[in-house]
């Protein structure tokens, strides 16, 4: 299985907190590829800068230590995100949906809106 963690799922994994057991097991399974999008790092950085979030961990080092793979944002992803139906107006989440669809990834999320798109979802 190829998984894309949404921003909250990534933070919950790092904090060893709040993830549903099925999601935790899927992320931990060595045969599964786990991706974290550049958009999640961008969202976290913005929330840290505005004081809405505090993250103690070095996120880049945490990504490496967790054996997760970074997923860059491409022009294809950007166009796909712009063409999505407006079920969700959050640009970070729209990018995650577009990346999941374009790359054939299952999104690990607790956000019910993701299920309105053609993306595969694993509840976080």
Predicted pLDDT of residue 118: 85
User: For the residues of 61-87, what is the DSSP string, one character each?
Assistant: HHHHHTT-EEE---HHHHHHHHTS-TT
Give how far Cα 85 sits from Cα of 7, 47, 81, Å.
21, 26, 9
Domains of the chain by residue range = 2-123
Taking only the tens place, the pLDDT of each residue in 55-81 is 888 888 988 899 999 999 999 999 999
- pLDDT band, very low/low/confident/very high, at 32 (cuts 50, 70, 90): very high
Predicted pLDDT of residue 113: 92
Is the pLDDT assigned to residue 110 strictly greater than 90?
yes
Name the percent of the chain lying above pLDDT 90. Answer: 81
Name the pTM for this structure. 0.94
Residue matched to tokens 């294809």? 76
Taking only the tens place, the pLDDT of each residue in 86-102 is 998 899 999 999 999 99
CATH of 2-123 among 3.30.1340.30, 3.30.9.10, 3.40.50.1010, 2.40.50.220: 3.40.50.1010
Task: Count CB neighbours of 66 within 10 A.
Answer: 16
Give pairs for 23-28: CB < 8 Å, separation 24+: 23/108, 23/122, 23/123, 23/124, 26/1, 26/108, 26/122, 27/3, 27/108
């Amino acid at each position: 299985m190829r998984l894309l963690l949404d921003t909250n799922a990534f933070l919950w994994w790092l904090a060893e907190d709040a993830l549903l057991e099925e999601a935790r097991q899927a992320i931990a399974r060595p045969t599964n590829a786990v991706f974290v999008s550049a958009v999640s790092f961008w969202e976290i950085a913005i929330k840290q800068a505005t004081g809405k979030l505090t993250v103690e961990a070095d996120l880049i080092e945490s990504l490496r230590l967790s054996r997760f793979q970074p997923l860059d944002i491409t022009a294809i992803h950007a166009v796909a995100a712009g063409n999505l139906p407006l079920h969700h107006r959050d640009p970070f989440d729209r990018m995650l949906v577009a990346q999941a669809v374009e790359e054939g990834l299952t999104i690990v999320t607790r956000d019910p809106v993701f299920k309105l798109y053609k993306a595969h979802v694993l509840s976080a």
